[in-house]
Chain A
């Protein structure tokens, strides 16, 4: 059965709702990929814009973020290819409650954070995205499998190797 076209006004309202529902996840995913607040804002909004332009092709029964993520990732890869970026490595913060943790000084925590930020940015793209999705956004394995078009078993092995690589990179920064 052919789907009925959504009228423009309703389409915009629906789209606004989808942006508001997904903007945090979109921004944080972009932040993890780019490592920069400005770039994350730029590409996450641009990806929404592109999503809007081809919104008539989107099946509203399906998960919006899965569709959006593909646009966002392509945009990021194109941008990366297109120009040398000035790397701004300030996209992580120490969880608030840990500032009260006596086992590590604030300075040590900040140093650890800097190292982790650098190491994440040095990860190959396929490792970086899976670390961001799972470890920082808590996306479940099933959703990651759908987003990355890989089996769930591969999600787990890739996460394992991504963490291993991350540990190697952090060690090399000593």
Chain B
């Protein structure tokens, strides 16, 4: 099968082949019965496909399509604002808590040291887990494969 055959077969299947092209296709098919069989199979499947169409949703669906897309855009902006706001508030609260904890003279230094080690350990653990996940994802050769 060569490019010319694919071209002529396609023209034939779409019903817009010219008389010259039809005679050229006939010559190819006469000289190669296997291609005739292939083309006949293509005609059959094409006939089945021609009987079907993609399901068309209701008119209301199309009327609401833009509105739904717009609503999604608004929602994503809302989420972005909520996440940014939460990040600012939480960071501020963490800094304030840390400051008060450090400045608090009543807390024994051993407890301060213990809590600092706990927080540092948790942060390091979090960073390693994230880094590991990130690198294993990047190196995963099978990530394109549906599991």
A, B from the same assembly:
yes
Q: Which A residues are closer than 8 A to B by beta carbons?
A: 16, 19-20, 23-24, 27-28, 31-32, 37, 41, 45-46, 48-49, 52, 77, 80-81, 84, 90-95, 98, 109, 112-113, 116, 131-132, 135-137, 141, 153, 156-157, 159-160, 163-164, 166-167, 170
In whole angstroms, what is the CA distance A157 to B9 when docked?
10
Cα distance A160–B6 in the bound complex, in angstroms: 7
Is the beta-carbon distance between B55 and A24 smaller than 8 angstroms? no
Known: A49-B69, A49-B72. A109 touches B51 (CB 8 A): yes
Specify which of A27, A80, A95, A157 is in contact with B3 (CB 8 Å cutoff). A157
18 CB < 8 A contacts A-B: A23-B65, A24-B62, A31-B54, A45-B65, A45-B72, A81-B146, A91-B54, A93-B56, A116-B49, A160-B9, A160-B42, A163-B45, A163-B46, A164-B42, A167-B41, A167-B45, A170-B45, A170-B48
Interface residue ranges, B against A (CB under 8 Å): 1, 3, 6-7, 9-10, 38, 41-42, 44-46, 48-49, 51-57, 61-62, 65-66, 68-70, 72-73, 76, 143-147
- In the complex, A147 Cα to B52 Cα: how many Å? 24
Q: How far is the CB of A113 from chain B (nearest CB, A)?
A: 6
Q: What is the chain A residue whose CB lies nearest that of B53? A: A95
A residues in contact with B56, CB < 8 Å: 93
Closest chain A CB from B11 CB (angstroms):
9
Query: What is the CB-to-nearest-CB distance from B40 to chain A, in angstroms, rounded to a whole number?
Result: 10
Q: How far, in whole Å, are A80 and B143 apart by their CA atoms in the complex?
A: 11
A-B contact count (CB 8 A): 111
In the complex, which residues of chain B have a beta carbon less than 8 angstroms from the beta carbon of A49?
Answer: 69, 72-73, 76
B9 to nearest A CB, angstroms?
A: 6
* Given pairs A31-B55, A41-B68, A136-B49, 17 additional interface contacts (CB within 8 A): A16-B66, A19-B69, A27-B57, A45-B72, A49-B69, A49-B72, A84-B147, A91-B55, A93-B54, A94-B51, A95-B51, A141-B10, A153-B3, A153-B6, A160-B10, A167-B41, A167-B44
- Whether A156 contacts B69 by the Cβ 8 Å rule is no
Residues A153 and B53 in contact, CB atoms below 8 Å apart: no
Which of B52, B68, B76 lies at the interface centre, i.e. has the most chain A CB atoms within 10 A of its CB?
B52
3 closest Cβ pairs, A-B complex:
A156-B6, A167-B45, A157-B6
B53 to A45, Cβ gap below 8 A? no
Expressed in whole angstroms, the Cα–Cα distance for A141 and B10 within the complex equals: 10
The answer, among A37, A98, A156, A157, for a CB contact under 8 Å with B55, is: A37
- Given A84-B146, A164-B38: A116 and B48 within 8 A (CB)? yes
Pair B73/A81 contact, Cβ less than 8 Å: no
Taking a contact as CB atoms under 8 Å apart, the answer to whether B57 and A98 are in contact is no
Q: Which of A48, A92, A166 interacts with B69 by CB under 8 Å?
A: A48
Q: B residues within 8 A CB of A132?
A: 54
